[in-house]
Amino acid sequence: MSLYRTIKTFDNFPCSHRQWQHEGNCKFIHGYSRSFSITFGCSGLTKSGFGVDFGELTEIKTWLSHWFDHTMLINEDEPERALFEQMHEKKIIDLRVLPNVSMEKTAEFVFSFVDPWIRKKANDRAFVLQVECRENNKNAGIYLAIERT
Protein backbone atom coordinates (compact mmCIF):
# COMPACT_ATOMS: atom_id res chain seq x y z
CA MET A 1 0.00 0.00 0.00
CA SER A 2 1.26 3.47 -0.87
CA LEU A 3 1.22 6.24 1.67
CA TYR A 4 1.25 9.88 0.70
CA ARG A 5 1.73 12.81 3.05
CA THR A 6 0.11 16.20 2.69
CA ILE A 7 0.96 19.07 5.04
CA LYS A 8 -1.23 22.09 5.66
CA THR A 9 -0.17 24.99 7.88
CA PHE A 10 -2.63 27.38 9.47
CA ASP A 11 -0.98 30.40 11.06
CA ASN A 12 -1.49 33.81 12.66
CA PHE A 13 -3.80 32.89 15.53
CA PRO A 14 -3.04 35.50 18.21
CA CYS A 15 -4.12 34.29 21.62
CA SER A 16 -3.02 34.41 25.22
CA HIS A 17 -2.79 31.76 27.88
CA ARG A 18 -1.31 30.92 31.23
CA GLN A 19 0.01 27.77 32.87
CA TRP A 20 -1.05 28.33 36.46
CA GLN A 21 1.01 25.40 37.82
CA HIS A 22 4.27 26.59 36.25
CA GLU A 23 6.87 27.87 38.72
CA GLY A 24 8.35 30.33 36.20
CA ASN A 25 6.97 33.13 34.05
CA CYS A 26 4.44 30.91 32.28
CA LYS A 27 2.16 31.27 35.31
CA PHE A 28 1.47 34.82 34.10
CA ILE A 29 -0.88 35.65 31.24
CA HIS A 30 1.15 35.96 28.07
CA GLY A 31 0.46 35.63 24.38
CA TYR A 32 1.76 34.33 21.11
CA SER A 33 0.62 34.00 17.55
CA ARG A 34 0.04 30.27 17.33
CA SER A 35 0.32 28.21 14.19
CA PHE A 36 -0.64 24.65 13.39
CA SER A 37 0.93 22.30 10.84
CA ILE A 38 -1.19 19.25 10.21
CA THR A 39 0.38 16.28 8.45
CA PHE A 40 -2.19 14.12 6.73
CA GLY A 41 -1.50 10.57 5.63
CA CYS A 42 -3.33 9.40 2.54
CA SER A 43 -3.71 5.85 1.31
CA GLY A 44 -4.51 7.12 -2.17
CA LEU A 45 -4.98 10.33 -4.11
CA THR A 46 -8.07 12.11 -5.39
CA LYS A 47 -8.88 12.19 -9.12
CA SER A 48 -7.00 15.51 -9.18
CA GLY A 49 -3.92 13.86 -7.70
CA PHE A 50 -4.26 15.45 -4.24
CA GLY A 51 -3.79 13.73 -0.92
CA VAL A 52 -5.99 16.34 0.72
CA ASP A 53 -7.60 19.20 -1.20
CA PHE A 54 -6.54 22.37 0.64
CA GLY A 55 -9.61 24.16 -0.71
CA GLU A 56 -11.83 21.86 1.33
CA LEU A 57 -10.25 22.69 4.71
CA THR A 58 -12.24 25.85 5.42
CA GLU A 59 -14.12 24.16 8.26
CA ILE A 60 -10.83 23.38 10.01
CA LYS A 61 -9.68 27.00 9.69
CA THR A 62 -13.03 28.21 11.04
CA TRP A 63 -12.76 25.82 13.99
CA LEU A 64 -9.17 26.93 14.72
CA SER A 65 -10.25 30.58 14.54
CA HIS A 66 -13.00 29.95 17.08
CA TRP A 67 -10.56 28.45 19.55
CA PHE A 68 -7.39 30.49 18.95
CA ASP A 69 -8.07 33.84 17.25
CA HIS A 70 -7.97 36.66 19.83
CA THR A 71 -8.89 34.30 22.66
CA MET A 72 -7.73 33.72 26.21
CA LEU A 73 -6.92 30.06 26.89
CA ILE A 74 -6.94 28.45 30.30
CA ASN A 75 -6.64 24.91 31.60
CA GLU A 76 -9.85 23.26 32.70
CA ASP A 77 -8.42 22.96 36.24
CA GLU A 78 -7.53 26.68 36.43
CA PRO A 79 -8.08 27.77 40.08
CA GLU A 80 -9.12 31.29 38.97
CA ARG A 81 -11.55 29.98 36.38
CA ALA A 82 -14.50 31.87 37.90
CA LEU A 83 -12.57 35.14 37.54
CA PHE A 84 -11.78 34.39 33.89
CA GLU A 85 -15.43 33.49 33.29
CA GLN A 86 -16.48 36.85 34.82
CA MET A 87 -14.09 38.67 32.48
CA HIS A 88 -15.56 36.73 29.59
CA GLU A 89 -19.10 37.69 30.59
CA LYS A 90 -18.00 41.36 30.76
CA LYS A 91 -16.43 41.00 27.29
CA ILE A 92 -12.94 41.75 28.58
CA ILE A 93 -11.64 38.45 27.20
CA ASP A 94 -12.92 35.80 24.80
CA LEU A 95 -12.40 32.75 26.99
CA ARG A 96 -11.70 29.21 25.85
CA VAL A 97 -11.14 26.32 28.27
CA LEU A 98 -8.92 23.47 27.12
CA PRO A 99 -7.85 20.34 28.96
CA ASN A 100 -4.36 21.92 29.03
CA VAL A 101 -2.94 24.88 27.08
CA SER A 102 0.58 23.50 26.57
CA MET A 103 1.74 23.19 22.98
CA GLU A 104 1.76 19.39 23.25
CA LYS A 105 -1.75 19.13 24.70
CA THR A 106 -3.05 21.77 22.28
CA ALA A 107 -1.65 19.69 19.41
CA GLU A 108 -3.54 16.68 20.80
CA PHE A 109 -6.71 18.79 21.16
CA VAL A 110 -6.49 19.83 17.49
CA PHE A 111 -5.78 16.23 16.44
CA SER A 112 -8.92 15.09 18.28
CA PHE A 113 -11.04 17.36 16.09
CA VAL A 114 -9.25 17.13 12.74
CA ASP A 115 -8.60 13.37 12.51
CA PRO A 116 -12.23 12.21 12.71
CA TRP A 117 -13.26 15.16 10.53
CA ILE A 118 -10.88 14.28 7.67
CA ARG A 119 -11.56 10.54 7.97
CA LYS A 120 -15.27 11.16 7.48
CA LYS A 121 -14.75 13.69 4.67
CA ALA A 122 -12.34 11.40 2.80
CA ASN A 123 -14.09 8.09 3.54
CA ASP A 124 -11.04 6.95 5.55
CA ARG A 125 -8.67 7.53 2.62
CA ALA A 126 -7.02 10.40 4.56
CA PHE A 127 -6.16 10.68 8.25
CA VAL A 128 -3.94 12.75 10.50
CA LEU A 129 -0.40 11.55 11.18
CA GLN A 130 0.68 14.47 13.35
CA VAL A 131 -0.19 17.95 14.50
CA GLU A 132 2.47 20.51 15.33
CA CYS A 133 1.38 23.43 17.50
CA ARG A 134 3.82 26.33 17.46
CA GLU A 135 3.70 29.31 19.80
CA ASN A 136 6.54 31.15 18.07
CA ASN A 137 9.49 30.41 15.82
CA LYS A 138 11.41 28.77 18.70
CA ASN A 139 8.86 26.62 20.54
CA ALA A 140 6.50 23.89 19.38
CA GLY A 141 4.81 20.74 20.57
CA ILE A 142 3.90 17.80 18.38
CA TYR A 143 1.25 15.14 18.80
CA LEU A 144 1.83 11.95 16.78
CA ALA A 145 -1.05 9.64 15.90
CA ILE A 146 1.02 6.55 16.68
CA GLU A 147 1.02 7.62 20.33
CA ARG A 148 -2.77 7.15 20.45
CA THR A 149 -2.51 3.37 20.32
pTM over cut 0.85:
yes
What pLDDT was estimated at residue 3?
87
Proportion of the chain above pLDDT 70, given as a percent: 97
In angstroms, what CA-CA distances link 21 with 18, 41, 80? Answer: 9, 36, 12
Q: Order the strands of the 30-42 sheet from edge to edge.
A: 95-98, 71-75, 4-17, 30-42, 126-134, 140-144
What pLDDT was estimated at residue 1?
53
Stretch 112-126: mean pLDDT = 96
Stretch 124-130: mean pLDDT = 95
pLDDT band, residue 149 (cuts 50/70/90): very low
What mean pLDDT, rounded, does the chain reach?
A: 94
Stretch 21-46: mean pLDDT = 95
- State the amino acid at position 13 in one-letter form: F
Q: How far is CA 12 from the centre of its chain?
A: 12
The number of folded domains in the chain is 1
In angstroms, what CA-CA distances link 90 with 28, 84, 96, 110? Answer: 21, 10, 15, 28
pLDDT tens readout for residues 42-85: 998 999 999 999 999 999 999 999 999 999 999 999 999 999 99
Among residues 90, 92, 133, 95, which one has the least CA distance to residue 111? 133
Stretch 19-32: mean pLDDT = 95
- ∠ CA 48-51-57, rounded to 5°: 95
Identify the domain containing residue 108 by its residue range.
4-148
pLDDT at 94 over 90: yes
pLDDT at 147 over 50: no
Percent of residues in the chain assigned helix, strand, coil, to nearest 5: 35, 35, 35
CATH at residue 128:
3.30.479.10
Q: Give the residue, 148 or 134, on which the prediction is more confident.
A: 134
